[in-house]
Chain A
Amino acid sequence: MGLLSKKDTKLITDPLSDNNPITIQVLGICSALAITADLKASIVMGIAVLFVLSAGNVVISLMRNIIPSKIRIIVQLIVVAALVIIVDQVLKAYAYELSKTLSVFVGLIITNCIIMGRFEAFALANGPWRSFLDGIGNALGYAVILIIVGFFRELLGSGSLLGFKVLGDPIEKTGVYAFGYENNGFMLLAPMALITLGIIIWVQRSRNTSLIEDN
Protein backbone atom coordinates (compact mmCIF):
# COMPACT_ATOMS: atom_id res chain seq x y z
CA MET A 1 0.00 0.00 0.00
CA GLY A 2 1.54 3.27 -1.13
CA LEU A 3 -0.81 5.56 0.72
CA LEU A 4 -0.89 3.71 4.00
CA SER A 5 2.10 2.56 5.99
CA LYS A 6 1.97 -0.83 7.63
CA LYS A 7 1.05 0.73 10.94
CA ASP A 8 -1.72 2.72 9.32
CA THR A 9 -3.15 -0.35 7.63
CA LYS A 10 -3.30 -2.06 10.98
CA LEU A 11 -5.43 0.81 12.28
CA ILE A 12 -8.09 -0.20 9.80
CA THR A 13 -7.75 -3.97 9.83
CA ASP A 14 -7.35 -4.52 13.57
CA PRO A 15 -10.83 -3.34 14.57
CA LEU A 16 -12.28 -5.62 11.90
CA SER A 17 -11.15 -8.73 13.72
CA ASP A 18 -8.78 -8.93 16.68
CA ASN A 19 -9.68 -5.60 18.20
CA ASN A 20 -13.30 -5.37 17.15
CA PRO A 21 -15.11 -2.58 19.02
CA ILE A 22 -18.16 -4.71 19.75
CA THR A 23 -16.87 -8.22 20.30
CA ILE A 24 -13.52 -7.39 21.93
CA GLN A 25 -13.79 -3.89 23.35
CA VAL A 26 -17.49 -4.51 24.12
CA LEU A 27 -18.52 -0.98 23.15
CA GLY A 28 -21.65 0.02 21.31
CA ILE A 29 -23.61 -3.00 22.45
CA CYS A 30 -26.75 -0.96 23.10
CA SER A 31 -27.25 0.10 19.50
CA ALA A 32 -26.21 -3.34 18.28
CA LEU A 33 -29.17 -4.75 20.20
CA ALA A 34 -31.64 -2.01 19.35
CA ILE A 35 -31.50 -1.69 15.60
CA THR A 36 -30.40 -5.06 14.23
CA ALA A 37 -33.90 -6.50 13.84
CA ASP A 38 -33.50 -5.97 10.11
CA LEU A 39 -30.55 -5.80 7.79
CA LYS A 40 -31.30 -2.45 6.20
CA ALA A 41 -31.32 -0.61 9.51
CA SER A 42 -28.01 -2.24 10.39
CA ILE A 43 -26.38 -1.06 7.17
CA VAL A 44 -27.73 2.48 7.50
CA MET A 45 -26.52 2.68 11.09
CA GLY A 46 -23.10 1.39 10.05
CA ILE A 47 -22.72 4.09 7.41
CA ALA A 48 -23.93 6.83 9.76
CA VAL A 49 -21.46 5.82 12.45
CA LEU A 50 -18.69 5.58 9.85
CA PHE A 51 -19.17 9.21 8.98
CA VAL A 52 -19.62 10.56 12.50
CA LEU A 53 -16.77 8.56 14.00
CA SER A 54 -14.18 9.42 11.35
CA ALA A 55 -15.13 13.10 11.23
CA GLY A 56 -15.40 13.35 15.02
CA ASN A 57 -12.05 11.65 15.51
CA VAL A 58 -10.40 14.22 13.23
CA VAL A 59 -12.01 17.17 15.02
CA ILE A 60 -11.09 15.87 18.47
CA SER A 61 -7.59 15.03 17.31
CA LEU A 62 -7.08 18.58 16.00
CA MET A 63 -8.26 19.97 19.31
CA ARG A 64 -6.42 17.46 21.46
CA ASN A 65 -3.77 19.89 22.73
CA ILE A 66 -6.14 22.64 23.76
CA ILE A 67 -8.92 20.64 25.44
CA PRO A 68 -8.81 20.99 29.24
CA SER A 69 -8.82 17.45 30.56
CA LYS A 70 -11.37 18.27 33.27
CA ILE A 71 -14.11 18.90 30.76
CA ARG A 72 -12.91 16.72 27.90
CA ILE A 73 -15.88 14.33 28.03
CA ILE A 74 -18.33 17.21 27.73
CA VAL A 75 -16.31 18.66 24.86
CA GLN A 76 -16.38 15.28 23.10
CA LEU A 77 -20.12 15.06 23.59
CA ILE A 78 -20.63 18.53 22.14
CA VAL A 79 -18.53 17.68 19.10
CA VAL A 80 -20.54 14.52 18.38
CA ALA A 81 -23.87 16.21 19.00
CA ALA A 82 -22.99 19.19 16.82
CA LEU A 83 -21.74 16.97 13.99
CA VAL A 84 -24.83 14.79 14.07
CA ILE A 85 -27.20 17.76 14.17
CA ILE A 86 -25.44 19.51 11.28
CA VAL A 87 -25.55 16.38 9.16
CA ASP A 88 -29.20 15.87 10.03
CA GLN A 89 -30.09 19.46 9.08
CA VAL A 90 -28.18 19.36 5.81
CA LEU A 91 -29.83 16.07 4.87
CA LYS A 92 -33.25 17.48 5.76
CA ALA A 93 -32.66 20.33 3.36
CA TYR A 94 -31.02 18.49 0.46
CA ALA A 95 -31.88 14.79 0.82
CA TYR A 96 -35.17 14.78 2.66
CA GLU A 97 -36.05 11.15 1.97
CA LEU A 98 -32.71 9.93 3.27
CA SER A 99 -32.97 12.11 6.36
CA LYS A 100 -36.29 10.49 7.23
CA THR A 101 -34.71 7.06 7.18
CA LEU A 102 -31.84 8.30 9.29
CA SER A 103 -33.72 10.43 11.79
CA VAL A 104 -34.36 7.58 14.21
CA PHE A 105 -30.64 6.86 14.36
CA VAL A 106 -29.58 10.36 15.35
CA GLY A 107 -30.19 9.89 19.05
CA LEU A 108 -28.55 6.48 18.97
CA ILE A 109 -25.42 7.82 17.29
CA ILE A 110 -24.88 10.55 19.88
CA THR A 111 -25.06 8.06 22.72
CA ASN A 112 -23.00 5.38 20.98
CA CYS A 113 -20.18 4.54 23.34
CA ILE A 114 -17.85 3.52 20.49
CA ILE A 115 -17.65 7.14 19.46
CA MET A 116 -16.85 8.45 22.92
CA GLY A 117 -14.60 5.46 23.46
CA ARG A 118 -12.47 6.14 20.38
CA PHE A 119 -12.26 9.88 21.11
CA GLU A 120 -11.05 9.08 24.59
CA ALA A 121 -8.75 6.20 23.75
CA PHE A 122 -7.31 7.28 20.42
CA ALA A 123 -8.08 10.74 19.07
CA LEU A 124 -6.91 12.52 22.24
CA ALA A 125 -3.45 10.99 21.82
CA ASN A 126 -2.91 10.78 18.06
CA GLY A 127 -2.72 13.01 15.00
CA PRO A 128 -5.66 13.71 12.70
CA TRP A 129 -4.71 11.33 9.86
CA ARG A 130 -4.20 8.35 12.15
CA SER A 131 -7.34 9.28 14.07
CA PHE A 132 -9.27 9.39 10.82
CA LEU A 133 -8.07 5.89 9.91
CA ASP A 134 -8.85 4.66 13.41
CA GLY A 135 -12.37 6.07 13.03
CA ILE A 136 -12.86 4.33 9.69
CA GLY A 137 -11.52 1.04 11.03
CA ASN A 138 -13.61 0.99 14.17
CA ALA A 139 -16.76 2.06 12.38
CA LEU A 140 -16.24 -0.71 9.83
CA GLY A 141 -15.64 -3.22 12.60
CA TYR A 142 -18.85 -2.05 14.22
CA ALA A 143 -20.75 -2.21 10.93
CA VAL A 144 -19.54 -5.74 10.17
CA ILE A 145 -20.91 -7.09 13.45
CA LEU A 146 -24.14 -5.15 13.04
CA ILE A 147 -24.61 -6.57 9.57
CA ILE A 148 -23.92 -10.15 10.69
CA VAL A 149 -26.38 -9.86 13.58
CA GLY A 150 -28.93 -8.08 11.39
CA PHE A 151 -28.58 -10.76 8.72
CA PHE A 152 -29.40 -13.62 11.07
CA ARG A 153 -32.11 -11.78 12.97
CA GLU A 154 -33.97 -10.74 9.84
CA LEU A 155 -33.50 -14.11 8.15
CA LEU A 156 -34.62 -16.24 11.09
CA GLY A 157 -37.05 -13.75 12.60
CA SER A 158 -38.87 -12.43 9.56
CA GLY A 159 -37.77 -14.89 6.88
CA SER A 160 -36.56 -12.05 4.70
CA LEU A 161 -33.40 -10.13 3.79
CA LEU A 162 -33.53 -6.39 3.10
CA GLY A 163 -37.30 -6.87 2.97
CA PHE A 164 -37.21 -9.55 0.26
CA LYS A 165 -38.98 -12.73 1.31
CA VAL A 166 -36.11 -15.12 0.60
CA LEU A 167 -37.66 -18.07 2.42
CA GLY A 168 -41.07 -17.84 0.79
CA ASP A 169 -44.28 -16.35 2.10
CA PRO A 170 -45.21 -17.35 5.68
CA ILE A 171 -48.89 -16.57 5.17
CA GLU A 172 -49.33 -18.16 1.74
CA LYS A 173 -47.20 -21.13 2.91
CA THR A 174 -44.80 -21.11 -0.03
CA GLY A 175 -41.08 -21.88 -0.09
CA VAL A 176 -39.73 -23.51 3.10
CA TYR A 177 -42.95 -22.65 4.90
CA ALA A 178 -44.67 -25.32 2.81
CA PHE A 179 -42.63 -27.90 4.80
CA GLY A 180 -43.86 -26.60 8.14
CA TYR A 181 -41.04 -24.12 8.81
CA GLU A 182 -42.00 -21.22 11.06
CA ASN A 183 -40.33 -17.86 11.66
CA ASN A 184 -38.83 -17.50 15.10
CA GLY A 185 -40.46 -14.31 16.38
CA PHE A 186 -38.10 -14.34 19.34
CA MET A 187 -35.28 -13.38 16.97
CA LEU A 188 -36.89 -9.96 16.57
CA LEU A 189 -36.57 -9.19 20.26
CA ALA A 190 -33.46 -7.69 21.83
CA PRO A 191 -32.42 -10.74 23.91
CA MET A 192 -31.73 -12.73 20.75
CA ALA A 193 -29.40 -10.01 19.51
CA LEU A 194 -27.37 -10.50 22.66
CA ILE A 195 -27.33 -14.27 22.17
CA THR A 196 -26.34 -13.90 18.50
CA LEU A 197 -23.58 -11.55 19.57
CA GLY A 198 -22.48 -14.07 22.18
CA ILE A 199 -22.23 -16.75 19.52
CA ILE A 200 -20.12 -14.44 17.32
CA ILE A 201 -17.77 -13.77 20.24
CA TRP A 202 -17.58 -17.50 20.94
CA VAL A 203 -16.74 -18.32 17.32
CA GLN A 204 -14.16 -15.54 17.15
CA ARG A 205 -12.40 -16.60 20.34
CA SER A 206 -12.32 -20.26 19.50
CA ARG A 207 -10.73 -19.42 16.14
CA ASN A 208 -8.15 -17.15 17.74
CA THR A 209 -7.27 -18.44 21.19
CA SER A 210 -4.89 -15.53 21.87
CA LEU A 211 -7.99 -13.44 22.49
CA ILE A 212 -8.93 -15.47 25.56
CA GLU A 213 -7.92 -13.74 28.78
CA ASP A 214 -5.91 -15.75 31.32
CA ASN A 215 -7.46 -16.16 34.70
Chain B
Amino acid sequence: MARNTESNGYTVAFATAMVLIVGALLAFVASSLKEKIAENKRIEKQQNILYAMGVNNNDETSVEFVSKANVESDFSKYIVKQLVITGADFVEDSNAYLIDIKVEAEKAKNPSYKRRLPLFIGEKDNKEFYIVPVRGKGLWDAIWGYVALDNQLVIQGVYFDHAGETPGLGSNIKERFFMDDFAGEHIMDGDEFKGVDVAKGNADPKNLRKDDFAVDAIAGATITGNGLAAMLKKDLQLYLPYFKTLKQ
Protein backbone atom coordinates (compact mmCIF):
# COMPACT_ATOMS: atom_id res chain seq x y z
CA MET B 1 0.00 0.00 0.00
CA ALA B 2 1.27 3.42 -0.91
CA ARG B 3 -0.80 5.01 1.79
CA ASN B 4 0.71 5.25 5.25
CA THR B 5 -2.08 3.94 7.45
CA GLU B 6 -0.11 4.56 10.61
CA SER B 7 0.32 8.33 10.42
CA ASN B 8 -1.59 10.47 12.89
CA GLY B 9 -3.20 12.49 10.14
CA TYR B 10 -4.56 9.37 8.47
CA THR B 11 -5.82 7.99 11.76
CA VAL B 12 -7.73 11.16 12.58
CA ALA B 13 -9.10 11.40 9.05
CA PHE B 14 -10.18 7.75 9.13
CA ALA B 15 -11.87 8.15 12.49
CA THR B 16 -13.69 11.28 11.33
CA ALA B 17 -14.87 9.66 8.12
CA MET B 18 -15.96 6.52 9.96
CA VAL B 19 -17.98 8.51 12.50
CA LEU B 20 -19.63 10.55 9.77
CA ILE B 21 -20.49 7.54 7.64
CA VAL B 22 -21.79 5.38 10.48
CA GLY B 23 -23.60 8.34 12.06
CA ALA B 24 -25.29 9.23 8.80
CA LEU B 25 -26.19 5.61 8.12
CA LEU B 26 -27.76 5.11 11.54
CA ALA B 27 -29.59 8.43 11.37
CA PHE B 28 -30.93 7.53 7.94
CA VAL B 29 -32.09 4.09 9.05
CA ALA B 30 -33.66 5.45 12.23
CA SER B 31 -35.54 8.29 10.55
CA SER B 32 -36.75 6.26 7.61
CA LEU B 33 -38.15 3.57 9.91
CA LYS B 34 -39.44 5.92 12.59
CA GLU B 35 -43.05 6.04 11.49
CA LYS B 36 -43.35 2.32 11.08
CA ILE B 37 -41.86 1.69 14.50
CA ALA B 38 -44.17 4.24 16.14
CA GLU B 39 -47.16 2.56 14.50
CA ASN B 40 -46.00 -0.86 15.76
CA LYS B 41 -45.70 0.56 19.28
CA ARG B 42 -49.18 2.04 19.12
CA ILE B 43 -50.66 -1.28 18.02
CA GLU B 44 -48.74 -3.05 20.75
CA LYS B 45 -50.16 -0.72 23.39
CA GLN B 46 -53.68 -1.50 22.23
CA GLN B 47 -52.90 -5.22 22.22
CA ASN B 48 -51.44 -5.05 25.73
CA ILE B 49 -54.41 -3.17 27.15
CA LEU B 50 -56.82 -5.66 25.59
CA TYR B 51 -54.69 -8.55 26.83
CA ALA B 52 -54.96 -7.37 30.44
CA MET B 53 -58.76 -7.38 30.29
CA GLY B 54 -58.78 -10.86 28.82
CA VAL B 55 -59.28 -10.04 25.14
CA ASN B 56 -56.60 -12.19 23.56
CA ASN B 57 -56.04 -15.34 21.54
CA ASN B 58 -54.37 -17.33 24.31
CA ASP B 59 -54.45 -21.08 24.25
CA GLU B 60 -53.38 -23.26 27.19
CA THR B 61 -49.91 -21.82 27.78
CA SER B 62 -49.17 -19.22 25.13
CA VAL B 63 -49.38 -15.46 25.20
CA GLU B 64 -51.23 -14.45 22.03
CA PHE B 65 -52.52 -10.97 21.40
CA VAL B 66 -55.48 -10.23 19.21
CA SER B 67 -54.19 -10.06 15.67
CA LYS B 68 -52.86 -6.85 14.19
CA ALA B 69 -55.69 -6.84 11.70
CA ASN B 70 -58.36 -6.91 14.39
CA VAL B 71 -56.75 -4.81 17.07
CA GLU B 72 -58.17 -1.48 15.97
CA SER B 73 -61.77 -2.70 15.83
CA ASP B 74 -61.46 -4.76 19.02
CA PHE B 75 -59.98 -1.82 20.84
CA SER B 76 -62.90 0.45 19.97
CA LYS B 77 -65.35 -2.35 20.71
CA TYR B 78 -64.09 -3.40 24.16
CA ILE B 79 -62.56 -0.20 25.49
CA VAL B 80 -65.69 1.83 26.06
CA LYS B 81 -64.13 4.82 27.76
CA GLN B 82 -60.70 6.32 28.22
CA LEU B 83 -60.18 8.81 31.02
CA VAL B 84 -57.44 11.24 31.85
CA ILE B 85 -57.44 11.85 35.59
CA THR B 86 -55.83 15.04 36.87
CA GLY B 87 -56.11 15.46 40.62
CA ALA B 88 -59.80 15.19 41.47
CA ASP B 89 -61.01 15.87 37.93
CA PHE B 90 -61.24 13.59 35.01
CA VAL B 91 -62.08 14.01 31.36
CA GLU B 92 -62.74 11.56 28.58
CA ASP B 93 -60.08 11.38 25.91
CA SER B 94 -60.09 8.76 23.21
CA ASN B 95 -56.32 9.10 22.86
CA ALA B 96 -55.55 8.68 26.55
CA TYR B 97 -53.73 5.45 25.77
CA LEU B 98 -51.10 7.43 23.91
CA ILE B 99 -50.07 9.31 27.06
CA ASP B 100 -46.50 8.36 27.90
CA ILE B 101 -46.62 7.54 31.60
CA LYS B 102 -42.84 7.61 31.78
CA VAL B 103 -42.88 11.27 30.74
CA GLU B 104 -45.73 12.01 33.15
CA ALA B 105 -43.86 10.44 36.04
CA GLU B 106 -40.78 12.51 35.15
CA LYS B 107 -42.81 15.71 35.05
CA ALA B 108 -44.55 14.85 38.33
CA LYS B 109 -41.23 15.26 40.12
CA ASN B 110 -41.97 18.94 39.86
CA PRO B 111 -44.50 19.36 42.72
CA SER B 112 -46.46 22.06 40.91
CA TYR B 113 -47.15 19.78 37.94
CA LYS B 114 -50.50 18.04 37.93
CA ARG B 115 -49.85 14.54 36.68
CA ARG B 116 -52.18 13.18 34.03
CA LEU B 117 -53.20 9.61 34.76
CA PRO B 118 -54.70 7.61 31.91
CA LEU B 119 -57.32 5.01 32.79
CA PHE B 120 -59.03 2.68 30.36
CA ILE B 121 -62.49 1.34 31.04
CA GLY B 122 -63.30 -1.84 29.23
CA GLU B 123 -66.48 -3.83 29.00
CA LYS B 124 -66.77 -7.48 28.16
CA ASP B 125 -69.69 -9.85 28.80
CA ASN B 126 -71.45 -7.10 30.79
CA LYS B 127 -68.50 -6.81 33.12
CA GLU B 128 -66.51 -3.65 33.66
CA PHE B 129 -62.74 -3.56 33.74
CA TYR B 130 -60.63 -0.66 34.97
CA ILE B 131 -57.27 -0.94 33.30
CA VAL B 132 -54.36 0.89 34.89
CA PRO B 133 -50.98 1.32 33.19
CA VAL B 134 -47.98 0.78 35.48
CA ARG B 135 -44.29 1.37 34.99
CA GLY B 136 -41.28 0.71 37.20
CA LYS B 137 -37.77 -0.62 37.42
CA GLY B 138 -36.60 -4.21 37.09
CA LEU B 139 -33.07 -5.42 37.56
CA TRP B 140 -31.51 -4.05 34.36
CA ASP B 141 -34.03 -1.77 32.80
CA ALA B 142 -37.60 -0.57 32.79
CA ILE B 143 -40.56 -2.87 33.37
CA TRP B 144 -44.14 -1.93 32.67
CA GLY B 145 -47.56 -3.37 32.27
CA TYR B 146 -51.32 -3.06 32.49
CA VAL B 147 -53.49 -4.20 35.39
CA ALA B 148 -57.20 -4.81 34.85
CA LEU B 149 -59.34 -4.44 38.00
CA ASP B 150 -63.04 -4.98 38.48
CA ASN B 151 -65.19 -2.48 40.38
CA GLN B 152 -64.38 -4.25 43.68
CA LEU B 153 -60.68 -3.61 42.94
CA VAL B 154 -59.92 -7.29 42.46
CA ILE B 155 -57.36 -7.97 39.75
CA GLN B 156 -58.91 -9.64 36.70
CA GLY B 157 -55.84 -9.86 34.54
CA VAL B 158 -52.45 -8.32 33.94
CA TYR B 159 -49.92 -7.89 31.22
CA PHE B 160 -46.27 -7.28 32.05
CA ASP B 161 -43.36 -6.51 29.79
CA HIS B 162 -39.75 -5.49 30.20
CA ALA B 163 -36.93 -3.84 28.29
CA GLY B 164 -34.01 -6.01 29.29
CA GLU B 165 -34.55 -8.47 32.13
CA THR B 166 -32.37 -11.57 32.09
CA PRO B 167 -33.67 -14.15 29.60
CA GLY B 168 -35.00 -17.24 31.37
CA LEU B 169 -35.13 -15.50 34.74
CA GLY B 170 -36.50 -11.97 35.08
CA SER B 171 -37.90 -12.11 31.56
CA ASN B 172 -40.40 -14.68 32.82
CA ILE B 173 -42.59 -11.89 34.18
CA LYS B 174 -44.24 -11.88 30.76
CA GLU B 175 -44.94 -15.61 30.83
CA ARG B 176 -48.35 -17.04 31.50
CA PHE B 177 -47.41 -18.98 34.63
CA PHE B 178 -46.47 -15.73 36.32
CA MET B 179 -49.07 -13.35 34.92
CA ASP B 180 -51.98 -15.74 35.41
CA ASP B 181 -51.26 -15.89 39.15
CA PHE B 182 -52.39 -12.30 39.50
CA ALA B 183 -55.96 -12.94 38.40
CA GLY B 184 -58.22 -12.86 41.44
CA GLU B 185 -55.70 -11.23 43.77
CA HIS B 186 -57.03 -8.46 45.97
CA ILE B 187 -55.17 -5.18 46.30
CA MET B 188 -57.27 -3.75 49.15
CA ASP B 189 -57.58 -5.02 52.70
CA GLY B 190 -60.87 -3.37 53.62
CA ASP B 191 -60.04 0.30 53.17
CA GLU B 192 -56.31 -0.18 53.39
CA PHE B 193 -54.27 -0.40 50.20
CA LYS B 194 -51.96 -3.41 50.13
CA GLY B 195 -50.93 -4.02 46.52
CA VAL B 196 -49.62 -7.42 45.48
CA ASP B 197 -46.28 -8.71 46.69
CA VAL B 198 -44.04 -11.03 44.68
CA ALA B 199 -43.12 -13.30 47.56
CA LYS B 200 -40.24 -15.74 47.86
CA GLY B 201 -40.75 -18.85 49.93
CA ASN B 202 -44.43 -18.39 49.40
CA ALA B 203 -46.26 -21.16 51.21
CA ASP B 204 -48.83 -21.05 48.45
CA PRO B 205 -47.11 -22.02 45.19
CA LYS B 206 -50.33 -22.97 43.43
CA ASN B 207 -51.66 -19.56 44.40
CA LEU B 208 -54.90 -20.92 45.81
CA ARG B 209 -55.19 -18.19 48.41
CA LYS B 210 -56.26 -15.06 46.60
CA ASP B 211 -56.49 -12.74 49.59
CA ASP B 212 -52.88 -12.97 50.81
CA PHE B 213 -51.73 -10.00 48.70
CA ALA B 214 -48.91 -12.11 47.25
CA VAL B 215 -48.05 -14.24 44.26
CA ASP B 216 -45.24 -16.75 44.05
CA ALA B 217 -41.90 -15.27 42.96
CA ILE B 218 -39.73 -16.56 40.08
CA ALA B 219 -36.57 -18.41 41.10
CA GLY B 220 -33.50 -16.38 40.17
CA ALA B 221 -35.43 -13.18 39.58
CA THR B 222 -35.65 -11.65 43.05
CA ILE B 223 -34.86 -8.09 42.05
CA THR B 224 -37.17 -8.12 39.05
CA GLY B 225 -39.91 -9.45 41.33
CA ASN B 226 -39.29 -6.83 44.00
CA GLY B 227 -39.29 -4.13 41.34
CA LEU B 228 -42.55 -5.44 39.98
CA ALA B 229 -44.24 -5.44 43.40
CA ALA B 230 -42.95 -1.91 44.04
CA MET B 231 -44.22 -0.80 40.64
CA LEU B 232 -47.72 -2.12 41.39
CA LYS B 233 -47.80 -0.44 44.80
CA LYS B 234 -46.55 2.88 43.50
CA ASP B 235 -48.71 3.20 40.41
CA LEU B 236 -51.96 1.57 41.55
CA GLN B 237 -51.97 3.88 44.56
CA LEU B 238 -52.17 6.91 42.29
CA TYR B 239 -55.61 5.81 41.18
CA LEU B 240 -57.08 5.19 44.63
CA PRO B 241 -58.73 8.63 44.92
CA TYR B 242 -60.57 7.95 41.68
CA PHE B 243 -61.55 4.43 42.69
CA LYS B 244 -62.93 5.78 45.97
CA THR B 245 -65.32 8.05 44.10
CA LEU B 246 -66.40 4.98 42.17
CA LYS B 247 -67.41 3.07 45.27
CA GLN B 248 -69.68 5.83 46.55
Residues of chain A whose beta carbon lies under 8 Å from any beta carbon of chain B: 34-38, 41, 44-45, 65-71, 74-75, 78, 82, 85-86, 89-90, 92-94, 96, 100, 103-105, 107, 154, 163, 171, 185, 188-189
State whether the Cβ of B86 lies closer than 8 Å to any Cβ in chain A: no
Q: Specify the chain A residue showing the minimal Cβ separation from B23.
A: A82
Would you call A71 and B14 a contact (CB within 8 A)? yes
State whether the Cβ of B206 lies closer than 8 Å to any Cβ in chain A: yes
Q: Specify the chain A residue showing the minimal Cβ separation from B169.
A: A37
Q: Could you write out 28 A-B pairs with CB less than 8 Å apart?
A: A34-B166, A34-B167, A37-B168, A38-B167, A41-B168, A41-B171, A44-B167, A65-B5, A67-B5, A68-B15, A69-B5, A70-B11, A74-B15, A78-B22, A86-B25, A86-B29, A89-B30, A92-B33, A93-B33, A93-B36, A104-B163, A104-B164, A104-B165, A104-B166, A104-B167, A171-B205, A188-B219, A189-B220
Instruction: Give the interface centre of B30, B61, B167, B220 by most chain A CB atoms within 10 Å.
Output: B167
Question: How far, in Å, is A111 (CB) from chain B's closest CB?
Answer: 13
**Of the candidates B3, B29, B171, which one forms a contact with A90 in the assembled complex, judged by CB atoms under 8 Å apart?**
B29
The 5 A-B residue pairs whose C-beta atoms are closest, nearest first, are A37-B168, A41-B167, A38-B168, A93-B36, A93-B33
> Whole-angstrom distance between the alpha carbons of A45 and B171 in the complex?
15
Question: How far, in Å, is B108 (CB) from chain A's closest CB?
Answer: 27
**Of the candidates A36, A89, A90, A103, which one forms a contact with B163 in the assembled complex, judged by CB atoms under 8 Å apart?**
A103
* Residues in A neighbouring B161, C-beta threshold 8 A: 100
Would you call A171 and B164 a contact (CB within 8 A)? no
Would you call A37 and B220 a contact (CB within 8 A)? yes
Question: How far, in Å, is A162 (CB) from chain B's closest CB?
Answer: 11
State whether the Cβ of B91 lies closer than 8 Å to any Cβ in chain A: no
Known A34-B166, A82-B25; further 14 A-B contacts with Cβ < 8 A: A35-B167, A45-B167, A65-B1, A68-B11, A71-B15, A86-B25, A89-B29, A100-B161, A104-B162, A104-B167, A104-B171, A105-B167, A188-B219, A188-B220
- Knowing A163-B61, A171-B205, the reply to whether A67 touches B164 (Cβ < 8 A) is no
**Of the candidates B10, B40, B167, which one forms a contact with A96 in the assembled complex, judged by CB atoms under 8 Å apart?**
B40
**Of the candidates B10, B18, B33, B220, which one forms a contact with A75 in the assembled complex, judged by CB atoms under 8 Å apart?**
B18
State whether the Cβ of B180 lies closer than 8 Å to any Cβ in chain A: no
> Whole-angstrom distance between the alpha carbons of A104 and B10 in the complex?
37
Of residues 5 to 54 in B, which have CB atoms within 8 Å of A's CB atoms? 5-6, 10-11, 14-15, 18-19, 22, 25-26, 29-30, 33, 36-37, 40, 44
Question: How far, in Å, is A34 (CB) from chain B's closest CB?
Answer: 7
> Whole-angstrom distance between the alpha carbons of A67 and B166 in the complex?
36
Question: How far, in Å, is A185 (CB) from chain B's closest CB?
Answer: 5
* Residues in B neighbouring A67, C-beta threshold 8 A: 5, 14
* Residues in B neighbouring A185, C-beta threshold 8 A: 219-220
Question: How far, in Å, is B221 (CB) from chain A's closest CB?
Answer: 9
> Whole-angstrom distance between the alpha carbons of A75 and B22 in the complex?
10
Question: How far, in Å, is B145 (CB) from chain A's closest CB?
Answer: 14
* Residues in A neighbouring B29, C-beta threshold 8 A: 85-86, 89-90
Would you call B22 and A89 a contact (CB within 8 A)? no
> Whole-angstrom distance between the alpha carbons of A94 and B40 in the complex?
9
Would you call B14 and A37 a contact (CB within 8 A)? no
> Whole-angstrom distance between the alpha carbons of A90 and B32 in the complex?
10
Q: Specify the chain A residue showing the minimal Cβ separation from B161.
A: A100
